[in-house]
Structure 1
Amino acid sequence: MGTQDPSRAYAPTTLPLRRTVGLARSCHPGPVVAVTAIAGALGVGVGLDGVRCAVLVAAVLSGQLSVGWCNDAFDARRDAAAGRTGKPVAEGSVSRRTVWAAAFTAALLCVPLSLACGLLAGAVHLTAVAAAWAYNLKLKATALSWLPYVIGFGTLPAVAALALPGRPGPTWWAVTAGALLGLAAHLGDVLPDIEDDLRGGVRGLPHRLGPTTTGLLLPVPLVAASVVLALGPAGPAGLWGAVTLAVAAPAALAGLLLARTWRKAPLAAAAVVAAADVTLLLVRGTAPV
C-alpha cells in the first residue's frame, strides 16, 4: 500500500451521492454526535424546557459541524501526505472548497442559534467555538494545543446552565470537571496519530511529551475529574459517585500495566473512566440548586 499522491488529493468529485456522503463523513460525525448529545442531556439536567433545550442542541450541533469541517478542510494536504484513510477530502470524495463552504455556513448559523440561548450563554458558546477554530488553524501545532479543548469542554456545562431563565450560572465543580475531561479528550484524540503528526510538522503538547508520556498522563485528568464530580457537590457522593471513584483509579492503573502488551490499553481504560465521568456529570447536574 502506498500513500496517496497529495497533488491528487481533495479533488472535486462528479458524483452527488459520493459528495454528500463524503461531506457527512468529513464533519467528524462521532465527536459531533457525542458532544451534541451531551449538551442536550445537560440541558435536560438543568431543567431547560423543550424549546430552549432544542435551541441549545441546534447551537452546539452547528458549532461542532463547523469545527469538524474546518479541521478536515484545513488538514487535507497533511492527511493526504500521511496516507490517512477515512479522510474524505484527502481521498477526493468531496472537494476542499465544498467542505470549507459547509464549515463557514455552519459557523454563520451558529451565531444566531447561540445568541438565542441568551446573550451570555451565546457569548460563552461562541468563545468555545472560536477556540476550536483557533486550534484547527494554529494552536494544534503549539504547546497550547490543550487550551481549546479545556475551554470547549469546560464551557459546555456553563452554556447549559446560563441558558436557564435568570442565568443562575454553573457550579464550579461542573466547569472544573468539564475542563479536565477536555484535557483528557485532547490527549486521547492525539495519541494514536502522534508519529504521523510529527512527520507533518505538528508539535502540540502531546507531541512534545511523546506517545509514552502522553499515554501515562492520559488517565490523570480523568481520575481527577472523577474526584471533583464525586466530592465537589455538597452532600454524599451517592451510588454513582461511589461507583465512579471505585472504577476510576483501578481502570487507569490497569491501562498503564497493560500498555506494554497492548499499546491501546491506556486509551481503552481512559474511555471507561470518561464514560463514568460523563454519566456522573449528567447525574449531578450543572446548575446550582
Structure 2
Amino acid sequence: MKKPRAYLSAAHFGPTMLITAIAFILTWNLWWEGPAYVVAFTVFLGQLIIGWSNDIYDYQDDLKHNRTNKPLVAGSLTVAQLRRTTFIFIPIAFIANLLGPLGLQGGSVYMLGVGCGIAYNFYFKFSPLSPLPYAIALAALPASMFYGASRTPLTWMVITGSLLGVSFHFLNVLKDLPQDQESKIGGLPQRLGKGKSLVVVAVLLGLSIAITVNALA
C-alpha cells in the first residue's frame, strides 16, 4: 500500500481531490449521478498528471529545501518511476476525457486546463504571468462540464472559477514563499510578497462571492 499512497501524495492529493469533487458535483447537477462518477474519474486522471509533473520538475528544489513530505525526497518513489508512470497516464487521461461523458468538446476544454497546469509547472511558475494558467484551468473546468452536457457555460460560473483559480494560486504559494524567493522562483505572488498577495486573495474572493450571490439572487 505504500506505493499507491506515494503516488497519490506526489499528485498533491488534497488539491487533486478538491478539483475531482467539484467536477463530480457539477456533473451531478448537470446530468445525473451515473455520469458524475465517470467524469470525476476522468478529471482525476488529468489532475494526477499535473501533480506528478510538478513533483518531477521540482525534485531538485524540494531536495534542496529538504521537503520530506514529498515522496521523491522521502525516497518512497524515484524520479524514474514517477516519470514513467506519468508518461503512461498521459494518453490514458486524454483518451478517457475525450471519449468519456464529456465528449470531444468538453474533454478538449478540460484537457486544455490540464495543459495549463503542466505549462505552469514548467514555465509560468517563474513568470509574472503565473496566475494565467490557473485562471484558464479553473475557468475550463466548469465550462467543460457544461459542454459535455451540451449546454452553454454560465458566464458567471466561468468567471468565478477563474477568480477562484487565481486565489488558490496565491494561497498555495504562500506556504513556501520564503523558500521560493530563495530559489529565485519569480511568479507573481513571489514578486508581490506575502502582504500584497493576501490583499489580492481577499479582493478576488470578495469578487467571487459578490458575483455568485448576484447570479443566484
> Is TM > 0.5 for Structure 1 vs Structure 2?
yes
Q: CA deviation at 1:18?
A: 4.0
Q: Which amino acid aligns with 1:25?
A: S
Distance 2:211 2:165 in 1: 14
Aligned position for 1:232:
215
Aligned position for 1:171:
154
Task: Give unmatched runs, 5+ long, in structure 2.
Answer: none
Aligned position for 2:18:
34
Aligned position for 1:194:
177
Aligned position for 2:137:
152
Q: Counterparts of 1:97-176 in structure 2 under 5 Å?
A: 97-115=80-98, 116=100, 117-164=102-149, 167-176=150-159
Aligned residues: 215
Aligned position for 1:61:
44
Q: CA deviation at 1:216?
A: 2.1
Does 1:44 find its partner at 2:32?
Answer: no
TM-superposition CA deviations, 1:60-92 (whole Å, max 9, x none):
100001111111111011001012231110222
Task: Give unmatched runs, 5+ long, in structure 1.
Answer: 1-16, 238-289
TM-superposition CA deviations, 1:35-56 (whole Å, max 9, x none):
101100000111x134432331
Distance 2:146 2:4 in 1: 35
SS of the residue corresponding to residue 218 of structure 1 reads helix
Q: CA deviation at 1:214?
A: 0.7
Give RMSD over aligned pairs: 1.4
TM-score, structure 1 length as denominator?
A: 0.71
Q: Answer yes or no: is the 8 Å Cα contact 1:162–1:169 preserved in 2.
A: yes
Runs of 4+ in 1 over 4 A off after TM superposition: none
Q: Counterparts of 1:265-276 in structure 2 under 5 Å?
A: none
TM-score, structure 2 length as denominator?
A: 0.94
Distance 2:26 2:15 in 1: 16
Q: Answer yes or no: is the 8 Å Cα contact 2:170–2:197 preserved in 1.
A: yes
